[in-house]
Structure 1
Amino acid sequence: MMKTFKIWTYKEGDIPLMHDGPMSYIYSSEGHFIEEMERKGNPLAANHPDEAHAFFIPISVTRIVQYLFSPDDDPFGFMGRLQAIGPFVSRKNPKLFENLIRVLCNANSSEGFIPRRDVSMTEINGPYNNTPIVSGGQSPHNRSILAFFAGGNHGIVRKKLFQHWGNKEDNNIQVYTYLHKNQNYIEVLSQSKYCLCPSGYEVASDRLTEAIYVGCIPVIIKNNYVLPYSDVLDWSQFSVQVPVAKIPDLKRILQDIPFSKYLEMQKRVIEVQKHFTVNIPAERFDVFHMILHSVWLRRLNIRLLKS
């Protein structure tokens, strides 16, 4: 890919909607991706449209919502008229959709995400002008908490999780809306063997990368979620997938995993950290290149399907 794949980034358009994106919070991947694609010296950048295999429109969906969307607007009608990108709004322009490789955090197969053509990417909660911290966390032998989650109780999956495990006096499964004042979120993650990653309003969340960054095995509790970079990453080797219907059995499921298997999975979590890491500028095998590798594979598939 690095020697062959070339992408032309359109020069047209003005900020804030074009050539700019958020560099912090949960949509920071959008801003970092635009910045990297337009960075001077990017080896994947095409020098001329004629040599490009793919074309990138450096438009920020987040900025569109921020600057142009009004609460009184019909969101799907508005977004569909302006830009066909997201799982729902892409349906507003079927002709354009035929030629798009969409890169989406919210990779929900029940909402029109097509795995053979679309790209699932991880949501990353990045601080402004800095990279998220990646570490090994506590030793796997010193993690005293079996499973942990702290966050808002919203969405069907989280409501079920809180119904069975929320705010209970159970040192094994700790599920809270808010931590105690003397607790640090990252420290508690680092002390946990398994980090629960349930869907919220949407299937995507930054919980997945938070877990991986601290060496905690992600427990994926989602319906219809297409796992990121699964063309090359075998998620069964470094994560646990629990069906939503099995939430009441969560404790038993995790306790039944032999400690030797846990150690193997935790070791692989550390090994795959580099594939979820944000580097500025991008480095080989990091999350930026994982996204583009997924795009490259789908670009090849589109060519084969049309030939």
Structure 2
Amino acid sequence: MASKNSCACYCVVVTLASCLLLVAAAVTVLTVHVAVGRVLSPSGGAAAAAVHHSLTPASVPLPSSRHAHARELVKRRVQARRLEAGLAEARASIRRASRTRNCTPDGGGGAAFVPRGAVYRDAYAFHQSYIEMEKRFKVWAYREGEPPVVQKGIGAVDGTGGIEGHLIAELEGGGGGGRHRARHPGEAHAFFLPISVANIVSYIHRRDMIEYWEPQLRLVAGYVDGLAANYPFWNRSRGADHLFVSCHEWAPILSAAKPELRANAIRVMCNADMSDGFDPATDVALPVVGHAGTGGRESPQGLPASERTVLAFFAGGVAHGGGGAVREALLARWEGRDDRVVVYGRLPAGLDHGELMGRARFCLCPTGGHEGAAVASRRVVAAITAGCVPVLVAADDSYSPPFSDVLDWPRFSVAVLAERVDAIKDILAGISDRRYAVLRRRVLRVRRHFRLNRPAKRFDVVNMVIHSIWIRRLNLSLPY
């Protein structure tokens, strides 16, 4: 009986001890929770937030994630070095072709076009460069953004910007039947910024805006900043391997939204006037071309040289709002004053501009002033299409003709300073028939490079622009 009572007492003591331990544990847990609650309370401020963040398991990088990040950095570095090594090989191949006057076969077959002749600065270097471009060049088009800020395809730009839409369609589609489309950013030599200046101006700009440029500039800067924050590519090259395409007259202004965009990026613009900030070393002159051709046929080239009775032709007014000093001088001296130098401010009814160009030996292409370089580009292309020798009339040498890094313009055109506008008739009449025949034959030879095709064809205007972009990227050696 005594033993039973002892056991009972022992059980009560054990049970009581267990209860005390549970109470102590509960108090301890409660104390911990109260302490943590004080740390994470709103009164804790920034320190509380930092502590809370440090306690979040997801915020603590696991060893595996750190290793994955390191592997990704190594992978990007290897990809970049591989790209630069390929570009170095391309440079060596081009130099070798220029030196040996021999190119690597391009696989185009016996009927493939081969650039040769005096119209090229170095036909062998150009041909080899084009082959290397087709073999290697990859472009990645950023997919962020929506219209109207971002250009989407060929139908978004009309008028003089038609060539812009065609080029963007090629870049977004990869160009060359997809040949230049990068499968991922890691294999891209260049990165396309699909900003549409024409759309931004059309949708955002209002003439009565107090801040005339600021909204558009902020929009462009914000788009670039967004890409720079989400991708490493802009920051690693400071924009030097990025493309900006626009045929709008405001393109030089809006590209200044970011200093690196203006100074470093490859800007492809119809306004190729160096007085407006165009830099031939990094920028590309985009020719203003009309409608796309079909069926591979050449456009009508006008009358043969023997039947061209007009010495020189020009028709075009001076844009409202000033500028166009070269045009003003040309019109003041020659409009309605000579039957061999035919100049109109406004083309009379019943006369056809294209027909008159087809009857002229020389076509005057004045630059300068409002939209000057873009207008000159349009007239240069129209002249070449019509088989008319272009005469570049400028106040200085600030106009950079399209594809000047490949084509030797003095071999198939005539340059006249604006100060010699009064002597244009004497200058052009002084060119012998033999010399004129050589100039015109060369004009016909370069026509294929200014022809717009859909889809694009080898050595046509779109692929020549892409080659100009390739050259700028090829000349850029990034320190990866």
Q: Does the TM-score normalized on the shorter chain lie above 0.5? A: yes
Shift of 1:27: 1.2
Shift of 1:180: 2.7
Partner of 1:82: 219
1:210 corresponds, among 365, 382, 388, to 382
Contact 1:196/1:218, CA 8 A, preserved across alignment: yes
Partner of 1:51: 187
1:105 aligns with 2:270: yes
Contact 2:316/2:345, CA 8 A, preserved across alignment: yes
Shift of 1:204: 2.1
Aligned-partner residue type, residue 443 of structure 2: V
Shift of 1:303: 1.4
Shift of 1:75: 4.5
Aligned-partner residue type, residue 165 of structure 1: W
Partner of 1:265: 439
The CA distance in 2 between the partners of 1:163 and 1:295, in whole Å, is: 39
Q: Structure 1 residue runs of 4+, over 4 Å off?
A: 127-133
1:5 aligns with 2:134: no
The CA distance in 1 between the partners of 2:256 and 2:327, in whole Å, is: 28
The CA distance in 1 between the partners of 2:298 and 2:444, in whole Å, is: 13
Shift of 1:288: 0.7
Aligned-partner residue type, residue 177 of structure 1: G
- Write the deviation string for residues 200-228 of structure 1: whole angstroms up to 9, x where unpaired: 52222111111111101111112411111
1:300 aligns with 2:474: yes
Aligned-partner residue type, residue 339 of structure 2: N
The CA distance in 2 between the partners of 1:127 and 1:165, in whole Å, is: 34
C-alpha distance 23-257 of structure 1, shift in aligned 2 (>3 A):
same
Deviates most, 186-195 or 220-229: 220-229
1:142 aligns with 2:142: no
Q: How many residue pairs are counted as aligned between the two chains?
A: 305
SS in structure 1 at match of 2:313 = strand
C-alpha distance 130-96 of structure 1, shift in aligned 2 (>3 A):
farther
The CA distance in 2 between the partners of 1:75 and 1:134, in whole Å, is: 42
Shift of 1:296: 0.8
The CA distance in 1 between the partners of 2:141 and 2:283, in whole Å, is: 19
TM-score, length-normalised on structure 1? 0.91
C-alpha distance 171-60 of structure 1, shift in aligned 2 (>3 A):
same
Shift of 1:42: 2.0
C-alpha distance 263-22 of structure 1, shift in aligned 2 (>3 A):
farther
The share of aligned pairs that are identical, in percent, is: 41
Partner of 2:166: 32
Partner of 1:72: 208
Partner of 1:116: 281
User: Structure 1 regions of 5+ residues with no counterpart?
Assistant: none
Partner of 1:173: 341
Contact 1:147/1:174, CA 8 A, preserved across alignment: yes
The CA distance in 1 between the partners of 2:170 and 2:205, in whole Å, is: 27
SS in structure 2 at match of 1:102 = strand
2:359 corresponds, among 186, 191, 201, to 191
Shift of 1:130: 12
SS in structure 1 at match of 2:178 = coil
Partner of 1:232: 406
If you compute each CA radius of gyration, which structure gives the higher value, 1 or 2? 2
TM-score, length-normalised on structure 2? 0.60
Greater RCO, CA 8 A, separation 6+: 1
Deviates most, 38-47 or 56-65: 38-47
Shift of 1:89: 3.2
Contact 2:294/2:454, CA 8 A, preserved across alignment: no
SS in structure 1 at match of 2:191 = strand
User: Structure 2 regions of 5+ residues with no counterpart?
Assistant: 1-132, 222-243, 245-250
Contact 2:264/2:282, CA 8 A, preserved across alignment: no
Contact 1:220/1:241, CA 8 A, preserved across alignment: yes
Higher percent of residues as helix: 2
The CA distance in 1 between the partners of 2:414 and 2:200, in whole Å, is: 36
Contact 2:357/2:363, CA 8 A, preserved across alignment: yes
Deviates most, 289-298 or 119-128: 119-128
Q: RMSD value over aligned CA atoms?
A: 2.4
Aligned-partner residue type, residue 336 of structure 2: N
Shift of 1:98: 4.3
Partner of 1:243: 417
C-alpha distance 26-95 of structure 1, shift in aligned 2 (>3 A):
closer
Deviates most, 70-79 or 225-234: 70-79
Aligned-partner residue type, residue 383 of structure 2: A
Contact 1:105/1:204, CA 8 A, preserved across alignment: yes
Deviates most, 81-90 or 238-247: 81-90
Aligned-partner residue type, residue 192 of structure 1: A
Aligned-partner residue type, residue 193 of structure 2: I
